[in-house]
């Protein structure tokens, strides 16, 4: 169990005279919950996602982003109670990822020459190494695993193993996750997003989250550009993140349609850098029918 808590979060574009975008965001997302963050273009949804992940293009000017962890998740590291509460604004993006923050991109990058399987294993090992360093872990098991490295790998699998999770062990993890997400295993030997359709790229984002098992996954418009079949596949993957590994999901979206497949526990509306209204799934349906003008009228007439 983990909780991501945004309190009075203010942020601007990180340049001289940069535009203020977030103007006091309050939000709490817990493990196993699905939150939908909706709003018109330019309201601050994607900025919120990037600030949580630590994107350098934005500067936090006020407020806090805290992550509260459950000790049961770190039994292997024997973490002290005092180390279960983190101010993410004090951490680098890689450290935030190691603690369990995942950002799914709206426009994933294409990288020729790097296979999916090698990328995913490298990412998993990097996360585990960084997490151990954060907690000053000296677990001898990690060193013992390194002794298993050295068996031959194919060029498609990358260099001889380095890291806590070896090639053979990772292949088993990858097969399990791909089966869980109903993905063809040939997917793993393709170059990262190179030549992928829009839907395949979004499936790949969900696969990354399944491999890395984050506490909180922030998915930035993962439904954009998907046809109905891929939308169903991606939705099933998001539900698997929640149901199989208890990941909390902050789903940023413009539209109701993905919420027809993945029913959110909470829906939030963002206007002008603030969350101005929250409710259940019925709120998303109302937005689909009436747009955002009625929210704006309701909020600003009351002010």
- Domain coordinates in residue numbering, the chain: 2-134+155-301
Pairing of strands 266-271, 274-279: antiparallel
Residue 226 has pLDDT above 60, yes or no: yes
pTM of the model: 0.88
pLDDT for the residue 249:
98
Q: What is the mean pLDDT of the chain?
A: 89
Residue 157 has pLDDT above 60, yes or no: no
Which of the two residues, 47 and 72, has the higher pLDDT score? 47
Model confidence band, residue 142 (pLDDT cutoffs 50, 70, 90): very low
pLDDT for the residue 178:
94
Report the range of poorest mean pLDDT among 79-93, 138-152, 186-200, 242-256.
Answer: 138-152
Pairing of strands 34-38, 101-104: unpaired
pLDDT for the residue 146:
52
Over residues 229-233, the mean pLDDT reads: 90
Residue 137 has pLDDT above 90, yes or no: no
pLDDT for the residue 225:
81
Judge whether 178 and 200 are in contact, CB under 8 Å: no
Residue 87 has pLDDT above 90, yes or no: yes
Handedness of CA 218, 224, 230, 235 (dihedral sign): positive
User: Which of 50, 90, 104 shows the shortest CA–CA distance to 212?
Assistant: 104
Which of the two residues, 78 and 8, has the higher pLDDT score? 8
Residue 108 has pLDDT above 50, yes or no: yes
Record the tokens describing residue 183, joined without a space: 């993905």
Tell me what percent of the residues of the chain surpass a pLDDT of 70: 88
Report the range of poorest mean pLDDT among 82-86, 92-96, 172-176, 280-284.
Answer: 82-86
Judge whether 266 and 17 are in contact, CB under 8 Å: no
The C-alpha atoms of residue 297 and residue 42 are separated, in whole angstroms, by 18
Residue 75 has pLDDT above 80, yes or no: no
* CATH classification code of 2-134+155-301: 3.40.50.300
Over residues 119-123, the mean pLDDT reads: 96
Over residues 85-111, the mean pLDDT reads: 95
Model confidence band, residue 268 (pLDDT cutoffs 50, 70, 90): very high
The C-alpha atoms of residue 278 and residue 89 are separated, in whole angstroms, by 25
């Amino acid at each position: 169990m983990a909780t991501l808590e945004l309190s009075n979060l203010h942020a601007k574009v990180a340049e001289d005279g940069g535009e203020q975008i977030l103007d006091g965001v309050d939000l709490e997302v817990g493990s196993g919950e699905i939150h939908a963050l909706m709003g018109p273009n330019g309201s601050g949804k994607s900025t919120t996602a990037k600030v949580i992940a630590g994107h350098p293009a934005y500067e936090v000017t006020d407020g806090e982003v805290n992550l509260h962890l459950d000790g049961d998740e770190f039994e292997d590291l024997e973490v002290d109670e005092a180390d279960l509460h983190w101010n993410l604004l004090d951490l680098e993006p890689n450290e935030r990822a190691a603690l369990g923050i995942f950002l799914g991109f709206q426009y994933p990058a294409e990288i020729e020459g790097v296979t999916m399987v090698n990328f995913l294993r490298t990412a998993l090992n990097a996360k585990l190494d960084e997490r151990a360093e954060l907690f000053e872990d000296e677990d001898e098991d990690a060193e013992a695993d390194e002794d298993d490295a050295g068996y031959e790998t194919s060029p498609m699998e990358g260099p001889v193993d380095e890291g806590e999770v070896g090639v053979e062990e990772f292949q088993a993890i990858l097969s399990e996750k791909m089966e869980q997400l109903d993905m063809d295993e040939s997917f793993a030997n393709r170059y990262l997003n190179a030549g992928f359709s829009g839907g395949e790229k979004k499936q790949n984002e969900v696969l990354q989250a399944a491999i890395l098992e984050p506490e909180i996954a922030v998915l930035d418009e993962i439904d954009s550009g998907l046809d109905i079949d891929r939308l169903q596949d991606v939705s099933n993957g998001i539900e698997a993140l929640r149901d199989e590994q208890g990941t909390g999901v902050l789903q940023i979206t413009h539209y109701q349609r993905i919420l027809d497949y993945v029913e959110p526990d909470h829906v939030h509306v963002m206007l002008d850098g603030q969350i101005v209204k929250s409710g259940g799934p019925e709120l998303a349906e109302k937005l689909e029918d009436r747009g955002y003008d009625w929210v704006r009228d309701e909020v600003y007439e009351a002010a």
